[in-house]
Amino acid sequence: MRLDNRASWFLSAFLMFALLTSAVPAFAKSVLDRIERTGQVNVGLREDAPPFGYHDKSGKWVGFSVDIAQRLTEDLSRKFNKPIKLIKKTVNSKTRIPMVAGGEIDIEIGTTTITLAREDSVDFTLPFFITGARILVPKGSPIREVSDLGGKKVGVAQGTTNAKSLEMAMEKGLIKPKCDVIQFADHAEGFLALTQGKLDAYYSDASILSGLKIKEVRPDDWVIVGQFISYEPYGFMVPANDSKWRDFVNASLIRLIKSGEFNKIYEKWMGPSGEVPMPMTEDYKMFLNIISFPE
């Protein structure tokens, strides 16, 4: 995805926000303290969002986020000079925020868009990925842009920014008449409804749609259409007001980028020969350099 000036301004504004909020004091007892005491880190991961998190043909839980979680666990083991066990827990669009806010998981590494509204309940790390919402339709569908969704049945995942951006598009008159928005518990359920002809389109982040399409038996039967009508910067989600833990995760991410390991993981899952090809743009590479703060 290529970023325009609006996206660039957004990223600059977000980085300023992240720097300003980094001074928030941490609780006396941080997630890091519990991880050291118990010897395990509880990580929320997706099972329905290739290439970020899904089960391969052998049933193994794999993906970009799974690899990132493993690297974070290795950093924790080095910090505490003892083995730290990675405990994987399933999250979806509806459960991820309550699970972080309630302490059931220490971090969610998935496909969660950073928003100011969500910052009321949880905190976010620096963004690590940027995408935008588009539309998945059957090949031959007359739907080509968001304006073509008028009067159609459109699926979205519960608890996502996609549902909100679709409502905003209708409020602005971009979709006339209004479409029938049908919400699903997760992307897999929504895509199944699309394949069964119960929906005219499925609306989500382009990265998610690419993963759903390419893992289908006949991927050429599906087409991703429409211009981006939203920008979705993904961040790792952590409990609120724990700057000690958030700073550790940010430092782990930055070192992963600076070492070149982040690029290797990205290429494995989203490079030209990856599971879901979404090659890095020059803008994205520049953004990763920008957040790679010095030691």
Q: Maximum CA pair distance of the chain? A: 61
Residue 167: pLDDT over 80: yes
Neighbouring C-beta atoms of residue 132, cutoff 10 Å:
19
Q: How far does CA 6 lie from the centroid of its chain?
A: 20
Q: So what's the pLDDT on residue 241?
A: 95
Q: What is residue 59's three-state secondary structure?
A: coil
Rounded to two decimals, the pTM is 0.84
Q: Which residue has the higher pLDDT, 266 or 231?
A: 266
pLDDT in tens, 233-260: 999 999 999 999 999 999 999 999 999 9
Q: What is residue 153's three-state secondary structure?
A: strand
Residue 207: pLDDT over 80: yes
- Predicted confidence band at 199 (pLDDT cuts at 50, 70, 90)? very high
- Predicted confidence band at 281 (pLDDT cuts at 50, 70, 90)? confident
pLDDT, mean over the chain: 91
Q: What is the dihedral of CA 71, 287, 16, 122, to 10 degrees?
A: -40
Residue 21: pLDDT over 80: no
* Spatial contact of 124 and 153, defined as CB atoms under 8 Å apart: no
Q: Which residue type does 113 have?
A: T
Domains and CATH numbers, the chain: 5-131+233-290 (3.40.190.10), 133-225 (3.40.190.10)
